Amino acid sequence: KPGEFWLAGAIATVVGFCTAPLYPILNKFITRKVLFSAGQISMILSYVILIFARSNLGLVLVGLVLFNFTFAQLVVVLTLTDSIEYGQLKNGNRNEAVVLTIRPMIDKISGALSNGIVGAIALVAGMTGSATAADMTAKNIHNFELFALYTPLAFSILALVVFLWKVKITEKKHAEIVEKLQVKLSEGDIPMDDATASQAVSNQSILTTDVLAPVDGELEPISAVTDGKINNMTGKGFVIKPSGDSIYAPFDGTIKFTFSTNHVFGIISDTGLEMIIHVGIGTVNMRGKGFVTHYIDGQKVHAGDLLLTFDRDAIKEAGYDDIVVTFFTQPARIIDYPINSSKQVVHGNKLTTVHFRPLEPSK
């Protein structure tokens, strides 16, 4: 039925346009492991339909819809993104550039393989030149069924089994990884900057950095959140109960990284002071919803620049605390940081001057 073959392309286009924007809506209520599984099961069912109902146009169209309703690639990309924090926790290095390079590579490789496989199947099945359906021999049809239906059906089942068996970084697991990573950073067990990883602290001189309030609100000591609220996080810094919804640069420096959930970022001053700004308690579970960054990682920023906006109402509706936690990632370097501000602070106003030890020059 060559006159009706255009339906295959039309269905692929329509369903493809629908699945991508549908994913974030569904992911609010359904975990990505379930979404991946549902997509793979849909693909498996589509192959079964195409194998056994090939002459029924209505069922074939249903099979084509199921075939294109898959979130596999989106889930793989998001899982790869979450592995950035896992790698930083396990290895002490944040290989963000390497991981994010893999994402477009997946698109290119899968596209190339898809085109190559389809072309190879057409050749093996005799679908070349001016050949029509009437020209197909029993062997041609058998080859087509084997390579275009049964083989990918087996691989679809295998992909589902491997994913459920091997992929461990779920949304819940990633939230646990982020919380553990923050504790490690606050205790100085993991350096924020790869360049400082192997450097020793020098006692030869003392450096200073003026730190401005990153957000409007009520100032509290770091102990306000170290009593079990963030996995018993210890460290040096301060906390602000925000009255505003914007985070501003506390000093001149460089953005080192941002967690994939957008609620945490690391910044290092021009003098070498490393600081983490963390918005909310439990907000890692929001998966970035309500958080908008106004910079790119690696960007040079100036004190007072707008860096992040967050939706306080969305945080509260989700049942989380919107408190802003700021801590220094190498507490052993910090000598003191006397707070010389009132309880109520305004972004851009000076909070403290941090006195800290420099690092030995790299050899």
How far is Cα 358 from Cα 319, in angstroms, rounded to an integer?
Answer: 41
In angstroms, rounded to a whole number, what is the distance separating the alpha carbons of residues 109 and 76? 14
- Is 362 domain-assigned? no
Structure tokens at 236: 């040096």
- Dihedral of the alpha carbons of 84, 86, 91, 97, in degrees to the nearest 10: 0
Same structural domain for residues 106 and 228?
no
Asked whether residue 174 is domain-assigned, the answer is no
**Could you tell me the two tokens for 212?**
């401005």
pTM score, whole prediction: 0.73
Same domain, 129 and 224: no
- Bridge partners for 253 per DSSP: 269, 301
336 and 271 share one domain: yes
Q: Are 145 and 247 in the same domain?
A: no
CA distance 25 to 41: 20
Residues 205 and 66 grouped into a single domain = no
Number of domains forming the structure of the chain: 2
Residues 111, 76: Cα–Cα separation, whole Å: 15
348 and 222: one domain?
yes
Within this chain, do residues 110 and 213 fall inside the same structural domain, yes or no?
Answer: no
**Residue partners of 166: CB distance under 8 A and separation at least 6:** none
- Residue 340 placed within a domain: yes
Give a yes or no: residue 262 inside a domain: yes
Q: Which of 137, 169, 201 is the last residue of a domain?
A: 169
Whether residues 151 and 204 share a domain: the answer is: no
Q: Which residue has the higher pLDDT, 29 or 247?
A: 247
Query: Which of 22-31, 32-41, 217-226 is predicted most confidently?
Result: 32-41
Q: Is residue 331 included in any domain, yes or no?
A: yes
- Residue partners of 193: CB distance under 8 A and separation at least 6: 256, 268, 274
Secondary structure tally for the chain: helices H, strands E: 9, 14
Same domain, 211 and 250: yes
Q: Convert the pLDDT of each residue in 287-339 to its tens digit.
A: 888 999 999 999 999 999 999 999 999 999 999 999 999 989 888 888 999 88
Q: Is the pLDDT of residue 185 over 50?
A: yes
Same domain for 202 and 58, yes or no, is no
Tens digits of residue pLDDT in 53-96 = 888 888 999 999 999 888 888 888 888 888 888 888 888 778 77
Burial of 274 (C-beta count, 10 Å sphere; 0-12/13-18/19+): buried
Token pair listed for 165: 């068996």
The Cα 100–Cα 298 span in angstroms is 15
* Average pLDDT score over the chain: 86
Contacts of 313 by beta carbon, 8 Å cutoff, 6+ apart = none
Contact assessment for residue 242 and residue 312, using Cβ atoms and an 8 Å cutoff: yes
DSSP label at 339?
Answer: B
Q: Evaluate whether residue 178 is within a structural domain.
A: no
Task: Tell whether 118 and 75 lie within a shared domain.
Answer: yes
Q: Is pLDDT at 283 greater than 80 in this prediction?
A: yes
CA-closest candidate to residue 37, choices 162, 196, 203: 162
DSSP string, 217-283: EEEEEGGGSTTTTTTT---EEEEEEESSSEEE-SSSEEEEEE-TTSSEEEEEETT--EEEEEEEESG
CATH number for the domain harbouring residue 273: 2.70.70.10
Give the range of the structural domain holding residue 234, as residue numbers without chain letter.
192-356
How many percent of the chain have pLDDT more than 70?
A: 91
Residue 247 and residue 301 in contact, taking contact as beta carbons nearer than 8 Å = no
Both 158 and 270 in a single domain? Answer: no
CA atoms within 13 A on the CB side of 332: 12
